[in-house]
């Protein structure tokens, strides 16, 4: 099994994906253990002094003015975890919980949090055992960290609350720890706070969304090319020299991908035949511009994610010179913004895909295709309602594109009077990515059927490869009406598994 070694820095997006989705094991480096021990010595020294230090010998948030006596400090750390584990609503997905726990461990191992090495090792042991704390949908405002979600994870480390075992069954966390020989942690000064105070949930969801969107944007380039072919459009608008004079990198990459898919097609270039067109419609002609803008948004979001992966987000933090200082680095604005940006880009990509699907189904705009791609229009309805489903998904995408990060709601008796709502931005982006997958699947279904209805003209070799692969995956071709939902589900699984890109790249080589 793949192993991820956590040091004081250098965790990558691929490490996050390996742990969250691939079940990779985790080891702590000797460097990390040494950094943990050194930072803990500083915290212990401060805890022994009479002067109050936030997070070490005081209360939290609006209660930070109270000095806590030594005999109450262990109770203080337990209490912050218990009281902050106040999430409600549906359970959060296993991969999200694993990502946020791993990212919290990454920050703990930086040596800036003051957590003891044995606490970090317990975090790794829980992940390695396949134990997943029960985390709920609601409870994070994206400021002071993803407090409630991380608190539910910390509760599991204490042997309290509920968790899911490797068998998928939810049980008391204490029982699961005992079965795997893991001793519950007894939190000491600052440790409870350090386990809660990070942007780890929203960052984990950003990293996973970026991986998913990379695949979906390539898939969308392919389905846009298939629709262009099916509509007998021109590929001249994809010429590199046209995109060179507007040098947005994403636009150039999308155009190049579409051109690679269309190489050798007998269907392109017929826009001046029986029903002459001066130009193709925007949804066809401007596909690289729209998808390209989304790609550039992804590039910016990836830059933010990389910076956040390189960060130690906690409050207070232990600095190399021995100071323990309060700060505002837990504020989720940098991550929240790009999560919202991505939801906007995804909504627009879904919207333009739906417009191409509708064009394929409309006999007045499809240049010779049967109405709704039906076998016997009137007797058969064809893909009429498949487009309805796609339109409903697009409509929801537009609602999901409303930014969460533009909102703020005060908390903690106005001490935390401006929050990022980054967790909410991440949650709705996950839904948006899920919906975008389905939208692209419907366009794939329509475009492949439409090409098979163009008799006497051969699609490009790459397009043919997609048609053959999707048919082999159980997505049926043209014919009389049938129960459509299974076909759409199979198309969705085909897109979701990355098989659109896989089929094309066997012909074209790697897409951009």
Phi, psi of 149 (to 5 degrees): -60, -45
Q: For residues 315 and 328, what is the distance between their CA atoms, to the nearest angstrom?
A: 7
Q: Which of 225, 126, 304 is nearest to 511 (CA)?
A: 225
169: its two tokens: 């069954």
Q: Which of 357, 346, 384 is nearest to 227 (CA)?
A: 357
Question: Catalytic: which of 54, 138, 282, 445?
Answer: 54
Q: Are 118 and 185 in contact (CB under 8 A)?
A: yes
Q: What does each C-alpha distance from 68 to 40, 74, 240, 415, 511 come to in angstroms? A: 19, 10, 67, 19, 59
Q: What does each C-alpha distance from 199 to 46, 206, 210, 408, 431 come to in angstroms? A: 26, 11, 17, 16, 20
Strands 170-172 and 324-325: unpaired
* H or E stretch at 230: helix 200-230
Q: Is the dihedral of CA 381, 383, 386, 391 positive or negative?
A: negative
**Which residues are CB-neighbours of 325 under 8 A, at least 6 positions away?**
316, 317, 319
Residues facing 380 on adjacent strands: 377
Neighbours of 28 (CB within 10 A): 19
Active-site residue 138, yes or no?
no
**Which residues are CB-neighbours of 200 under 8 A, at least 6 positions away?**
99, 100, 101, 103, 104, 107, 145, 146, 150, 313
Q: Are 336 and 420 in contact (CB under 8 A)?
A: yes
Q: Quickly tell me which residue has 């009281």 as its tokens.
A: 83
CA angle (258, 262, 264) in 5-degree steps: 155
Q: For residues 326 and 193, what is the distance between their CA atoms, to the nearest angstrom?
A: 12
Q: Can you give the three-state secondary structure of 13-74, one letter per residue? A: HHHHHHHHCCCCEEEECHHHHHHHHHHHHHHHHHHCCCCCCCCCCECCHHHCCCECCHHHHH
Q: Which residues are catalytic?
A: 54
């Amino acid at each position: 099994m793949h192993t991820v070694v956590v040091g004081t820095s250098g965790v990558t997006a691929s490490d996050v994906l390996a742990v969250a989705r691939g079940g990779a094991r985790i080891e702590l480096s000797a460097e990390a253990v040494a950094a943990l021990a050194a930072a803990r010595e500083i915290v212990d020294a401060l805890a022994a002094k009479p002067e109050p230090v936030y997070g070490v010998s005081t209360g939290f948030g609006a209660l930070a003015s109270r000095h806590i006596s030594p005999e109450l400090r262990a109770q203080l750390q337990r209490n912050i975890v218990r009281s902050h584990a106040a999430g409600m609503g549906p359970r959060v997905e296993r991969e999200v919980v694993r990502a946020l726990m791993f990212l919290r461990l990454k920050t703990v191992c930086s040596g800036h949090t003051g957590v003891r090495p044995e606490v970090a090792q317990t975090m790794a042991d829980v992940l390695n055992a396949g134990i997943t704390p029960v985390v709920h949908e609601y409870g994070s405002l994206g400021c002071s960290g993803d407090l409630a979600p991380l608190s539910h994870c910390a509760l599991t480390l204490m042997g309290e609350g509920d968790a899911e075992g490797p068998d998928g069954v939810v049980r008391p966390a204490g029982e699961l720890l005992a079965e795997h020989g893991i001793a519950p942690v007894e939190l000491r000064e600052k440790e409870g706070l350090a386990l809660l105070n990070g942007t780890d949930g929203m960052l984990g969801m950003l990293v996973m969304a970026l991986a998913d969107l990379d695949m979906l944007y390539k898939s969308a380039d392919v389905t846009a090319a298939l629709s262009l072919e099916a509509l007998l459009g021109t590929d001249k608008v994809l010429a590199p020299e046209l995109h060179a004079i507007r040098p947005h990198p994403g636009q150039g990459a999308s155009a190049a991908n579409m051109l690679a898919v269309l190489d050798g097609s007998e269907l392109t270039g017929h826009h001046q035949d029986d029903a002459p067109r001066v130009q193709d419609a925007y949804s066809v002609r401007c596909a690289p511009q729209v998808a390209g803008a989304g790609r550039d948004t992804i590039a910016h979001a990836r830059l933010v994610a990389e910076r956040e992966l390189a960060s130690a987000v906690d409050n207070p933090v232990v600095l190399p010179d021995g100071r323990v200082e309060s700060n505002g680095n837990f504020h989720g604005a940098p991550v929240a913004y790009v999560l919202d940006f991505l939801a906007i880009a995804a909504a627009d990509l879904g919207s333009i895909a739906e417009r191409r699907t509708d064009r394929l189904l409309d006999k007045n705009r499809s240049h010779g295709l049967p109405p709704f791609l039906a076998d016997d229009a009137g007797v058969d309805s064809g893909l009429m309602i498949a487009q309805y489903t796609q339109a409903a998904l697009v409509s929801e995408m537009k609602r999901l594109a409303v930014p969460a990060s533009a909102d703020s709601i005060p908390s903690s008796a106005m001490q935390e009077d401006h929050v990022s709502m980054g967790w909410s931005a991440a949650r709705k982006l996950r839904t948006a990515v899920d919906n975008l997958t389905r939208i692209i699947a419907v366009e794939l279904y329509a475009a492949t059927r439409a090409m098979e209805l163009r008799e006497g003209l051969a699609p490009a070799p790459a397009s043919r490869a997609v048609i053959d692969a999707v048919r082999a995956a159980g997505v049926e071709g043209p014919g009389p009406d049938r129960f459509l939902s299974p076909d759409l589900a199979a198309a969705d699984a085909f897109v979701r598994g990355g098989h659109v890109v896989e089929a094309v790249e066997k012909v074209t080589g790697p897409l951009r």
